[in-house]
Structure 1
Amino acid sequence: AASTSELTEIVSKFPKILGIRKGKAMSVYYDFAKEIIKADKSFEHKKLCHSSLPHGRMQENKIRNVSVLRELGVPQRLLFSLLLSNKPIVCGKEKFEESLNKVIEMGFDPSSSKFIEALRAVYQSSDKAIQEKVNAYERLGFAVGETWEMFKKWPYFLNFSEKNILGSMETFLGLGFSRDEFTFMVKRLPSCIGYSAETVKKKTEFL
Structure 2
Amino acid sequence: MIHLRKRILSHLLRPPSPVSAAHISPLFSPHRLLSATKCVAPNPFAIEDYLVSTCGLTREQALKSSKWISHLKHPSNPDAVLAFLSDLGLSRAEVATVVAKDPRVLCADVGRTLAPRVAELADLGLSRPDIARLFILGQNHFRHSSLRLNLEFWISVFGSLDQFLQALKINGALLSKSIEKVAKPNLALLEECGISVSDVTNPNAFLYRMLTTSPKHLQEALTRVHEFGIHPSSSAFSRGLRTFAVLSSEKLTKNIQLLEKLGWSRDAISLAVRREPTILGLTEERVRRSLEFLIGDVGLEIPYIARMPALMNYSIDRRLLPRNCLMNFLKAKGLFSAEFSFFSIATISNEKFLHKYVRPYEESFPGLAAAFASSCAGKHQWEQLYETTCKKRNS
In the TM superposition, what is the alpha-carbon distance from 1:202 to its structure 2 partner?
A: 1.2
In the TM superposition, what is the alpha-carbon distance from 1:32 to its structure 2 partner?
A: 5.3
Is 1:200 the counterpart of 2:320 in the alignment? yes
Which of 127, 131, 145 aligns to 2:267? It is 145
Structure-2 change in CA distance of 1:106 and 1:176 (3 Å) = closer
Q: Deviations over 1:39-75 (max 9, x none)?
A: xxxxxxxxxxxxxxxxx94433223211222224x14
Residue equivalent to 2:252? 130
Q: Deviations over 1:64-114 (max 9, x none)?
A: 211222224x144x56549x9784422122212222222234333334452
Report 1:45-194 matches (<5 A). Answer: 57-60=177-180, 61-72=182-193, 74-76=194-196, 78=197, 80-81=199-200, 87-91=208-212, 92-175=214-297, 177=299, 181-194=300-313
Please, what TM-score do these two structures have when normalized by structure 1? 0.62
**May I ask how many residue pairs the two structures share in their alignment?**
163
Which of 153, 163, 170 aligns to 1:28? It is 153
Structure-2 change in CA distance of 1:58 and 1:104 (3 Å) = farther
In the TM superposition, what is the alpha-carbon distance from 1:156 to its structure 2 partner?
A: 0.8
AA paired with 1:151?
A: V
Query: Which has the greater radius of gyration?
Result: 2
In the aligned structure 2, how far is the partner of 1:131 from the partner of 1:57? 28
Greater RCO, 1 or 2 (C-alpha within 8 Å, sep 6+) = 1
Contact 1:169–1:182, Cα closer than 8 Å, also in 2: no
In the aligned structure 2, how far is the partner of 1:106 from the partner of 1:65? 21
What secondary structure does 1:108 align onto? coil
Structure-2 change in CA distance of 1:79 and 1:137 (3 Å) = farther
AA paired with 1:65?
A: N
Structure-2 change in CA distance of 1:128 and 1:153 (3 Å) = same
In the aligned structure 2, how far is the partner of 1:71 from the partner of 1:90? 14
Structure-2 change in CA distance of 1:187 and 1:205 (3 Å) = same
In the aligned structure 1, how far is the partner of 2:310 from the partner of 2:301? 12
AA paired with 1:200?
A: L
Q: Name the Cα RMSD after superposition.
A: 3.4
Gaps of 5+ in 1: 1-17, 35-55
Structure-2 change in CA distance of 1:89 and 1:162 (3 Å) = same
In the aligned structure 2, how far is the partner of 1:185 from the partner of 1:159? 20
Contact 2:252–2:281, Cα closer than 8 Å, also in 1: no
Please, what TM-score do these two structures have when normalized by structure 2? 0.35
Structure-2 change in CA distance of 1:32 and 1:126 (3 Å) = closer
Gaps of 5+ in 2: 1-129, 135-146, 160-175, 328-395
In the aligned structure 2, how far is the partner of 1:162 from the partner of 1:128? 13
What secondary structure does 1:152 align onto? helix
In the aligned structure 2, how far is the partner of 1:194 from the partner of 1:32? 31
